Structure 1
Amino acid sequence: MTRPFRFGVVAPIRTDLPTWRDHVRRIADSGYSTLLMPDVAQWQPAPGPALATAAALTDLRVGTWVYASPLRPAWMTAWEAHSLSVLTEGRFEMGIGTGRPGMEDELRAKGIPVVAPSERLTQIRETVRALRELDGSDLRTPVAMAVRGAKAQALAAEVADTVTFALMPEESRADVARLVSDFRAIGDRELALHVSVVGDSVAPFMAPPDTDPAALRAADSLAILPSDPAAAIDEIQRRRAELGFSYFVFGGDSADTMAPVVAELAGR
């Protein structure tokens, strides 16, 4: 099934609040589907209050990109996600994963036990189970899951509505094609692509600051798109036709650059 295009923006609060609020309104006016928040403690306000604020400003959908399952009890994440669904009248999407590379150091620094990857997947399963119980029969919060290995893919095929792959920026198109093929063998879900670089602009919170755009282009990485709108439109259409990606997530600093692309493709 060919799904229509939609576009999200990871837009953490990195400026004064009036500037950020103006940015959120501009994102909404440009036709983006979703405003997203990373789960990075102490670098920005917590995702829940920030997303509730964004949802009150516009009619955008809002979501986490993504909750790190080891950072909090499953029931707490589920309660916050359900609460955001209620407060936004169904416009919240819960993104969740097992954590960024180096998560173990962050957990130790916060005094949180470091658990094995399999236990992190169990935490995700328990979070979604608790969320479904809280939602009841009148509400269904969409779940986006960041996956990599076979066990994570299997869980996503079972519980997620949207799947994004936890990729290293330098991985090639061929590498991603294999991951997509493996997943498509077990599940048909909306596929989201995390695009951390547009032209030579590297998005904070989405890629390491030392990411080299030229190296990504040389590797034929899907983590980068051209800044020229016409070229980006062609490449995005290619990625849906060849790989099935229909939901594209950009960094906040590239939202204006990609606005003509969104205007052309959103909903098609």
Structure 2
Amino acid sequence: MADRRFRFGLMAGGARDGAAWADLARRAEDLGYATLLTPDTTGTADPVASLAAAAGATESLRVGTFVLSAATRPAAMVAWQAASLAFATGDRFELGIGAGRPGGEADAELFGVPYGTAAERVRRVEAVMDAVAHPPEGLFAGTGRPPRVLVAASRRRMLELGARRAGTVAFGVPPLTGDKELAPLVGIVRDAAGDRFDDVELCTQVHVVGDEVPGWLAPQLGVDGAAMAAAGSIAMLTGTPREMAGTLARRRDELGVSYVSVPSVFAEEFAPVVELLAGR
């Protein structure tokens, strides 16, 4: 297996105001996080604006969408936004793209665009990747260097698309998914990637750091800490920082996962793990 070095992303939907958002970005950079990631929802700020602001407040921190919905934007628009963010951030932008999210139909309705079937949305992701790699004639191309692309996937077709074409594949899996359930998904990526598998970064999300699911998060996950612990959920890390680091190191050795995101509410608590593993 390739020499996969750890990266850590901090997931944040926003802040109290622009000044607090800039402070969060600077703190993420100080703590050693590689990326500041933000979602694409109608209830949060437009990622283009918030990520440009975060990059402007920092020096080396990379910023990324996690993930932009191809279901609500034309491919050329995404390519334009990606090139603009690459330009504005000094090539510190990473484009996370997906085929939609639970409840995404409401976003499409709000914007007045068709949401499409699952197959149609996958084709839109492919069209976005084409447009980002080769911007249509007349479209602003930024620095001329396409950003790194992350594909978020949970089903075979999207996993295979990410394996063939993306720099990073992020596994969007239910909160009770353990290593045993993740392994066959990694296998799909490995088979589809072929010779390029060693160059494909694998990403998972940690939603809970510690033994308890915060009250605000429980309704979103639909499970409690006891159920996650019993399932050996990859979305929960418990123990001391060194024990958490050991869990992630074992998962990297066994499955190849080296890019891990955590919610910003756990930024400080998880920072000792970042210090132990980042870049190693």
Residues 1:67 and 2:68 aligned together: yes
Q: CA deviation at 1:137?
A: 9.1
Mapped to 2, the partners of 1:185 and 1:231 lie a distance apart of 31
Q: Which moved more, 1:74-83 or 1:10-19?
A: 10-19
Q: CA deviation at 1:205?
A: 8.7
Provide structure 1 residue ranges, at least 5 long, that are not aligned to the other structure. none
Contact 2:84–2:142 (Cα < 8 Å) also in 1: no
- Show the counterpart of 1:196: 207
- Show the counterpart of 1:53: 53
- Show the counterpart of 2:25: 24
- Show the counterpart of 2:163: 157
C-alpha change, 1:227 and 1:105, in structure 2 (3 Å) is farther
Contact 2:51–2:64 (Cα < 8 Å) also in 1: yes
- Show the counterpart of 2:88: 87
Q: CA deviation at 1:204?
A: 7.3
C-alpha change, 1:228 and 1:219, in structure 2 (3 Å) is same
Q: TM-score, normalised by structure 2?
A: 0.89
1:223-251 Cα shifts (integer Å, max 9, x gaps): 11126312211111111011110001110
Q: Which moved more, 1:258-267 or 1:104-113?
A: 104-113
Mapped to 1, the partners of 2:276 and 2:249 lie a distance apart of 11
C-alpha change, 1:205 and 1:123, in structure 2 (3 Å) is farther
Q: CA deviation at 1:171?
A: 2.0
* AA in 1 matched with 2:206: V
Mapped to 2, the partners of 1:247 and 1:56 lie a distance apart of 24
C-alpha change, 1:13 and 1:136, in structure 2 (3 Å) is closer
- Show the counterpart of 2:12: 11
Q: CA deviation at 1:14?
A: 3.1
Mapped to 1, the partners of 2:228 and 2:6 lie a distance apart of 24
* Helix, strand or coil at the partner of 1:255: helix
Mapped to 2, the partners of 1:82 and 1:258 lie a distance apart of 32
Q: CA RMSD in A?
A: 2.1
Contact 1:164–1:192 (Cα < 8 Å) also in 2: yes
Mapped to 1, the partners of 2:110 and 2:143 lie a distance apart of 40
* Helix, strand or coil at the partner of 1:15: coil
Q: CA deviation at 1:101?
A: 2.0
1:83-110 Cα shifts (integer Å, max 9, x gaps): 1011111110000011112323443354
- Show the counterpart of 1:124: 125
Mapped to 1, the partners of 2:259 and 2:168 lie a distance apart of 9
Residues 1:147 and 2:153 aligned together: yes
C-alpha change, 1:107 and 1:136, in structure 2 (3 Å) is closer
Q: CA deviation at 1:197?
A: 1.4
Provide structure 2 residue ranges, at least 5 long, that are not aligned to the other structure. 136-140
Q: CA deviation at 1:157?
A: 2.0
* Helix, strand or coil at the partner of 2:202: strand
Q: Which moved more, 1:110-119 or 1:51-60?
A: 110-119
* Helix, strand or coil at the partner of 2:268: coil
